[in-house]
Amino acid sequence: MARAGWGSLFGCFGSSSHGSKSKRSSRKKKKKSKQPKVAAAAGGSGSGSGKPRSLQSRLSFTELSGMVSPEDLSLSLVGSNLHVFSIAELRAVTRDFSMTNFIGEGGFGPVYKGYVDDKTKPGLRAQPVAVKLLDLEGGQGHTEWLTEVIFLGQLRHPHLAKLIGYCYEEEHRLLVYEFMTRGSLEKHLFKKYAASLPWSTRLKIAIGAAKGLAFLHEAEKPVIYRDFKTSNILLDSDYKAKLSDFGLAKDGPEDDETHVSTRVMGTQGYAAPEYIMTGHLTAKSDVYGFGVVLLELLTGRRSVDKSRPPREQSLVEWARPYLTDARRLDRVMDPNLAGQYSARAAQKAAAVAHQCVSLNPKSRPHMSAVVDALEPLLALDDCPVGPFVYVAPPEDNSNNDKGSSGRRGRRKSSDGAAAAVVRPE
């Protein structure tokens, strides 16, 4: 089977390990920490994260991780509206995992496009789907598959990818997701021939992803995503961002605990420095990863790029000195934006990114504060005026046998009229 070469984007710091937590004795309920304000905050009310479904009754990964039988899993997730597919059904919807249906591949395994309807499963809405097939020889395994089923089987939010169902049959482990038309944010930002994302779309994507993280962090049983990066942010036809790939997600600290101790996992360039050094995982680790992605949206550069000069290979270290200097910020802004962005919005977004990638986790804002800071930026309208196109009326060439051979300085518009492009001073 052809590989898409995406394996290096997953699990750069080691293989997965989801150790079981010991049962907690009753503890005093932890006090809520004071939420640091975002330097760029501008108005806005509420957290902006949105909570369409309470997670107070959510089963944690620890409570379900010991279950090994398909029957136990399906009984535990009753009410989650997940469909349990057979391998034969998924072969049918993907044309036997045909390479013509192949979408791509990550650390989990290959992904195929398929189509389901009520003939596949009674009551199933007709729709395209993405079917992830666990590669038994890959870097991830049953634990990561089970993690995705447990978390996304219970979590529902407009900015989380929707898990439709799964297959747990003999050695087969598959996941069935809603199909995201525009693929990953990584593809749009970094692929050589992809059209550049306009400023407003970049802001929209950042805000949507921030809302997804805020929802996870503010749950009664918090969830730490742990692998926030551009390849895990999927986009629908309207560029609505949704977080996908929950294989490395962890239940967050509860009661009087301050962190979760775990083997360091994630992707180089996105993982928070204190997490790399200590293995102590907190929601602020996700905030750091968000800051890196926000920098990628602002600069059009990858978090780590070994092809650049040594001082520019780490995006955070290169960009950090410019982020709070309005006079120098344009030096790091993506040249593909061609200056077509609000200077005030860029400055405020850069200030948010600067706080998110702070070396001190306590100085990083909560994701709800990030949402409140970024949402008002969509309304800022100080973008430079784009090129003005003047369309001249068609010329009468009836008395000119040579036609337009002498008018090489003009181009034809779609209706045959000559068009001259006038750019603002």
The CATH number of whichever domain residue 302 belongs to comes to 1.10.510.10
Mean pLDDT of the 225-254 span: 91
For position 139, which CATH number holds? 3.30.200.20
Same domain, 144 and 275: no
Q: Same structural domain for residues 87 and 101?
A: yes
- At 164, is the pLDDT very low, low, confident or very high (cuts 50, 70, 90)? very high
Residue 133 and residue 278 in one domain: no
> Who has greater pLDDT, 349 or 247?
349
Which of 130, 159, 176 is the last residue before a domain boundary? 176
Cα separation values, 180 from 172, 260, 422, Å: 24, 32, 39
Question: pLDDT value at position 66?
Answer: 55
The domain tally of the chain equals: 2
Higher local confidence (pLDDT), 23 or 150: 150
Domain assignment present for residue 23? The answer is no
In this structure, the answer to whether residues 215 and 362 fall within a common structural domain is yes
**154 and 259 belong to one structural domain:** no
Which of 377, 398, 416 terminates a domain? The answer is 377
Say how far apart CA 297 and CA 290 lie, in whole Å. Answer: 11
Per-residue pLDDT band for 264 (boundaries 50, 70, 90) equals confident
CA dist list (Å): 354 to 33, 166, 348: 21, 39, 10
Six token digits for residue 298: 């602002």
* Rounded mean pLDDT, 94-115: 91
258-261 own/partner pairs: CB under 8 Å, 24+ apart: 258/282, 260/224
pLDDT at 59: 62
Looking at residues 278-298, what average pLDDT do you find? Answer: 95
Residue at 116 is within a domain:
yes
Cβ burial 204-220 (10 Å sphere, 16+ → b, else e): bbbbbbbbbbbbbbbbe
Query: pLDDT higher for 248 or 198?
Result: 198
Residue 154 has pLDDT above 70, yes or no: yes
Instruction: Return the closest-CA partner of residue 275 out of 50, 25, 26, 13.
Output: 13
Residue 388 lies in a domain: no
% of the chain beyond a pLDDT of 90:
52
Quickly state the pLDDT bin for 385 (edges 50, 70, 90).
low
Average the pLDDT over 361-386 and give the result: 90
Give the pLDDT score at 223. 92
Lowest mean pLDDT among 10-24, 79-93, 133-147, 170-184: 10-24
Highest mean pLDDT among 4-8, 90-94, 243-247, 253-257: 90-94
Q: Is the pLDDT of residue 15 over 50?
A: no
Same domain, 248 and 304: yes
Residue 78 scores a pLDDT above 90: no
> In this structure, is residue 329 part of a structural domain?
yes
* E-state strands within 97-253: 102-105, 110-116, 127-133, 163-169, 172-178, 223-224, 233-235, 241-243, 250-251
Q: Is residue 200 part of a domain?
A: yes
Separation between Cα atoms, residue 181 and residue 221, nearest integer Å = 31
What is the predicted pLDDT for the residue at 406? Answer: 41
Mean pLDDT, residues 142-157: 86
Q: Are residues 292 and 367 in the same domain?
A: yes
Q: Does 275 map to a domain?
A: yes
Residue 391, token pair as written in the block? 């369309």
Considering the domain architecture, whether residues 118 and 185 belong to the same structural domain is answered as no
**Residue 324 forms part of a structural domain:** yes
Q: Are residues 276 and 334 in the same domain?
A: yes
Of the three residues 346, 361, 377, the one that is the final residue of a domain is: 377
Report the amino acid identity of residue 44: G
Residue 253 placed within a domain: yes
What does the pLDDT look like over 30-49, one tens digit per residue?
A: 444 445 555 444 333 344 44
Say what the pLDDT of residue 265 is: 74
Range of the domain at 333: 181-377
pTM for the model stands at 0.76
- In this structure, are 97 and 209 located in the same domain? no
Alpha carbon 371 to chain centroid, angstroms: 15
| 198 plus 218 within the same structural domain | yes
Is residue 304 within 8 Å of 269, Cβ to Cβ? Answer: yes
CA distance 5 to 71: 35
Residues 152 and 254 in one domain: no
What residues are annotated to the active site?
227
Q: What is the mean pLDDT of the chain?
A: 78
In this prediction, residue 144 carries a pLDDT of 84
